Structure 1
């Protein structure tokens, strides 16, 4: 019996090795074959597509990794965790963990030419890992696109020369509303009211116009049609960007991955020329070294690396699988994390320079009054700060266009992991109907996201953002690292692994 097990183990090892060796012994356009158990399913598979140019892979990874979290999460973490001192664990994790994870995922995708589901099916015990990545990316895409919808709505409202969140004379404003431009209120004076119940005009616009938020998560109160239209537009744009897979998305990223840097630079230059900009920048960069003694600071830095670079979601493996076998992925694994980390730091200066001007104009040193995490920064604090600038509508359009481009390329890049995974797993069913598969996936995710445009939708958004994927992706990443770095060697064998790596990186 033991001899039979040994023979089965050797046979399995030979099959696994042949999968990886096939790539190096055949033409780059050949189909990467899977193990014997999948051969019948994959007989009709077409040759693997490759990126048109190497720059398309680079820009796609930048668009995937550099997202809204770099703008609305990183500055908040810096402020809460010691300012410049937070950069120490962040840069350390970026070098030691971020680069390694990025290289591991893109290299395994490139060496096999397979997406997540197919790769982990090589090891039956962990075959569910690939499906977990697909499901995690699918769930993320559901609520990530509602953020894109918010930015679309804000862009539309920014074309009013007098921004609706700059004053308290709107029908949705309450008696507690006040504006920094003149401290005016809607309907009555604030004299005698407790300062604890006062809300800025930007906050009331967010709560009572955009969200029309209900009092409880159980009170849906119907669909908001303005957000529904914005969500439809977001999903249509997502489908258009990825309707032909990397043939279309690889071209779109020339705009979506580079435009945010143009907008960010313009906003940074304007912000740094404003009076009081240094007040905000000081809170951002002046270090509090004592904060490094707290384990929470180190956990926050590690979590930010995980969220910004995007390992364990399947996107990096998917993008790597479209590389030519001899592509220099080692270079990209160093360059892209550096770009991602630098963007976070660069964006922090743009955010805090304008926040500093708002502090100067209002005569307060309380940054926590203005700097909030997540949507609070992007849709309340920063829009309020922009109302203090001459030509506020123009700066508002630029800011939300930047958020839109950051969001849309992260969105279709994440969804690419879902569609490519399904396409590779069911090639006979999908066949030549890749565009139809993309349409079906987008439509299903749109339907699942309809609850997010109800008046209780933001409660569900926060639930999904906090609990649906955060912990699960950490577990996926941990198991993925074990499978690829240890079990891969044990099952496939060091000789096969080394031979394929030497060929690929030569």
Structure 2
């Protein structure tokens, strides 16, 4: 009798009608743990590595120079604060919350489903663009390691008739014309406007970039 009463008491203690004690088990296997950053520094360095690249060092100064210098910074900062930073923050927030890649993160709204694919295509095109720039950088790096760099003088096949070494330019005979108020210099037996004189460095870069 004692044994049966103990069994009944244990079974009574093991059952409860409280909702908190009810465990619902699904047929699916346990989901893997979501990955997380080891520290805030890892996350910050990863974001910096994604946001800062060759374009910040090379492309941005070039765009400033080609589009008005300091005046280019006005529309740049307007676009940065009105569109760039909000979109960048949205991408980080959605990525951290959903832990889904760029292709699937926009499935939260069916109308935005194509944004992820468009971003992937743009990334591929940008990679092709930057690969060419990196190839130029590698080419110029090895060219600069030669004993005599090719942009030192104007004796190369790509140089034009108006090419003159900066060290030899000061030895040219130049004068100001009273007719058009321009400065002319004698180069290779010809009178050439000073504005048409070019450097071997500039001609080397322009020839390699356009050929």
**Is the TM-score greater than 0.5?**
yes
**Equivalent position of 2:180 in the other structure:** none
In structure 1, which of residues 107, 115, 118 is the aligned counterpart of residue 104 of structure 2? Answer: 118
Which structure dedicates a bigger proportion of its chain to helix?
1
1:181 aligns with 2:180: no
Superposed, 1:228-267 pairs within 5 Å as none
Q: Confirm whether residue 132 of structure 1 aligns to residue 118 of structure 2.
A: yes
Other-structure match for 2:136: 150
Distance 1:144 1:87, change over 3 A: closer
Q: Which residue of 1 aligns with 2:64?
A: 77
Alpha-carbon distance, 1:123 to partner: 2.9
Higher relative contact order (CA 8 A, sep 6+): 1
Task: Verify the 8 A CA contact 2:64 2:73 in the aligned structure 1.
Answer: no
C-alpha separation between the residues in 2 aligned to 1:182 and 1:49?
64
How far residue 86 of structure 1 moved from its aligned partner, in angstroms, is 5.7
Q: 1:71 to 1:180 in 2, by over 3 A?
A: farther
Cα distance between partner residues in 1 of 2:36 and 2:142: 37
Aligned residue for 1:182, secondary structure, equals helix
| Structure 1 residues 304-453: aligned runs within 5 Å | none
Residue-pair matches, total: 165
SS of equivalent to 1:154: helix
2:152 paired residue number: 166
* Residues 163 and 199, structure 2, Cα contact 8 Å, conserved in 1: yes
Cα distance change on mapping 1:196 and 1:189 into 2, 3 Å: same
RMSD value over aligned CA atoms?
3.4
Cα deviation, residue 94, structure 1: 3.9
- Aligned residue number for residue 201 of structure 1: 200
Question: Match for residue 366 of structure 1?
Answer: none
The structure carrying a bigger strand percent of its residues is 2
Question: Which of structure 1's runs of 4+ aligned residues deviate more than 6 A?
Answer: none
How far, CA to CA, are the matches of 1:212 and 1:95 in structure 2?
36
CA change 1:57–1:149 in 2 (3 A) is farther
> Are the equivalent residues in 2 in contact too, given 1:173–1:201 (CA < 8 A)?
yes
CA contact (8 A) 1:166 1:201 kept: yes
Long gaps (5+) in structure 2: 1-30, 172-186
Asked if structure 2 preserves the Cα contact closer than 8 Å seen for 1:165 and 1:205, the reply is yes
SS at match of 1:192: strand
* SS in structure 1 of the partner of residue 206 of structure 2: helix
Structure 1: give runs of 5+ residues left out of the alignment.
1-29, 32-46, 214-506
* 1:205 CA drift (Å): 1.1
Shift of 1:132: 0.7
What SS is found at the alignment partner of 1:199? coil
Distance 1:48 1:179, change over 3 A: farther
Distance (whole Å) between structure 2 residues aligned to residue 205 and residue 79 of structure 1 = 20
Describe the shift of the 1:119–1:161 C-alpha distance in structure 2 as closer, same or farther (beyond 3 A): same
Q: TM-score, normalised by structure 1?
A: 0.28
User: Which residue of the partner structure matches residue 108 of structure 1?
Assistant: 94
Contact 2:164 2:197 in 1 (8 A): yes
* C-alpha distance 190-53 of structure 1, shift in aligned 2 (>3 A): farther
**Once the 2 structures are TM-superposed, how far is the Cα of residue 159 of structure 1 from its aligned partner?**
1.6
Cα deviation 1:364-401 (Å, max 9, x = unaligned): xxxxxxxxxxxxxxxxxxxxxxxxxxxxxxxxxxxxxx
8 Å contact kept, 2:106–2:115: yes
